[in-house]
């Protein structure tokens, strides 16, 4: 998957548009949930940033460690 496709998969997850990945929504970590949805490392930083800024009701956490781990790979 390219980064844009991976980010799209993450957005589908947040809006519950991919019922095949229902178990991913049970994760408490946003990074774990996005990995479950096959979001690539290249898109993870952007996905986490978008998730944090999103105004939808959120039930997952974005840790400082995850933001640091994926910040350089997601900013390209």
Render pLDDT for 4-51 as a digit per residue (tens, 0 to 9): 666 766 666 666 655 555 678 788 999 998 888 888 888 899 889 988
- Structure-block tokens of residue 13: 């997850």
- Closest residue by Cα to residue 61 from 31, 29, 39: 29
Alpha-helical segments (H) within the chain: 3-14, 30-36, 41-53, 64-74
- Structure-block tokens of residue 66: 């995850």
Report pLDDT for 64: 93
Report pLDDT for 51: 87
pLDDT band at 3; cut points 50, 70, 90: low
Helix (H, G, I), strand (E, B) or coil at 29: strand
- Structure-block tokens of residue 49: 């940033």
Report pLDDT for 20: 55
């Amino acid at each position: 998957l390219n980064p844009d496709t991976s980010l799209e998969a993450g957005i589908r997850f947040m809006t519950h548009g991919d019922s095949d990945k229902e178990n991913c929504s049970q994760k408490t970590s946003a990074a774990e949930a996005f990995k479950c949805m096959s979001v690539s490392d290249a898109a993870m930083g952007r996905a986490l940033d978008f998730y944090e800024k999103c105004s939808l009701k959120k039930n997952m956490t974005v840790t400082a460690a995850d933001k640091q781990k994926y910040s350089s790979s997601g900013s390209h």
